[in-house]
Amino acid sequence: MLIDGLQYANWSEKIFRQLREGGVDAIHVTIAYHENFRETVLNFEKWNRWFEEYPDLIMKGLWASDIDKARETGRTAVFFGFQNPSPIEDDIGLVEIVHTLGARFMQLSYNNQSLLATGCYEAEDPGITRMGKKVIKEMNRVGLVIDMSHSADRSTIEAAELSERPITITHANPHEWAPALRNKRDNVLRAVTENGGMLGFSVYPHHLKDKSDCTLESFCEMVARTADKYGAEHLGIGTDLCLDQPDSIVEWMRVGRWTKEIDYGEGSKSAPGFPQMPSWFEDNRHFGNIENGLKAVGMNDDEVAGIMGGNWYRFFAENFEPQAKS
């Protein structure tokens, strides 16, 4: 089983076919960065048209059982998520609405302070806000997974402790291996995993040691060390692959509507666009390189199978359904 915990590609028939060539059974796709509720609904609609146009390649994913259906029919199940809470605006009632529409993940912040939590680019992190605490409870109730990939340390630790259900960091790496702002320190990873949560390893070059020049061996050794520290059952892949996106999309991701200036984030002013992917992972056909690389550094078959998809499957099965009423 092969599941990718996060992508934001410029979707097309070419990429859908590459997903099938790579044997990707399920994928979590970002359908909102800074969009409000109505704009996010238009993105749901766009995907509905793709499901209608390419029914032999992709299908909408709502529950873990849809991954089984996708595998049986040779398709990729597509699960939706938001990298910002902007789609719920300032209305807690929209949490249940977006879950009904098909959203299964929502980040509580994206780099900046939100109404719910602090982003990792802010100088100060006061933690989960008053509204954030209420939204976490509501997300737990309906089955919308809390994602803290772009959130600051204190906010992430508090979210892991406040949430009655496991949370996730869908796309990041350990900070000690590659000290990017977005990568996560030991106390953060420990809080998430000790509360049953998941970490998805990113292959986005700004999050890798040596960036685009990162070797497969270095990446896989890092995964193995992380498994030793936190338990292989809490780990998966969340590539953060942004295939075929124009540089203008980087501006939308980083800037949204909150500033009139360009925010280059972890990139450099001389190269504001998407960085070059490492040679061993250029698109969805290269997951086999990671699988073989993990085996080459000594991980056993069960650990590798879990990281490549089995752990995400279990996490989806346990956390997408509404909370049982007591």
Stated pTM of the model: 0.96
* Within a domain: 325: no
* Within a domain: 272: yes
* Within a domain: 125: yes
Residue 37 CA from chain centroid, whole number: 20
Give pLDDT tens digits for 49-104: 999 999 999 999 999 999 999 999 999 999 999 999 999 999 999 999 999 999 99
Say if CB 220 and CB 296 are below 8 A apart: yes
Residue 97 CA from chain centroid, whole number: 21
Domain count across the chain? 1
* Within a domain: 324: no
The CATH number of the domain holding residue 242 is: 3.20.20.140
268 has a pLDDT exceeding 60: no
Of 36-50, 129-143, 239-253, the range with the lowest mean pLDDT is: 239-253
Residue of 316, 326, 277, 303 whose CA lies nearest to 220: 303
* Within a domain: 76: yes
Give pLDDT tens digits for 147-190: 999 999 999 999 999 999 999 999 999 999 999 999 999 999 99
253 has a pLDDT exceeding 90: no
Structure tokens at 72: 């049986």
Question: Looking at residue 250, what is its pLDDT?
Answer: 83
* Within a domain: 16: yes
Give pLDDT tens digits for 302-323: 999 999 999 999 999 999 999 9
Domain housing 315:
3-319
- Burial code (b: 16+ CB inside 10 Å, e: under 16) for 53-81 equals ebeebbbbbbbbebbeebbeeebbbbbbb
| SS3 call for 271 | strand
Of 90-99, 110-119, 256-265, the range with the lowest mean pLDDT is: 256-265
Q: What mean pLDDT do residues 37-44 have? A: 98
pLDDT range class, residue 252, cuts 50, 70, 90 = confident
Structure tokens at 258: 């909150």
* Within a domain: 141: yes
247 has a pLDDT exceeding 90: no
Position of tokens 């203008």? 248
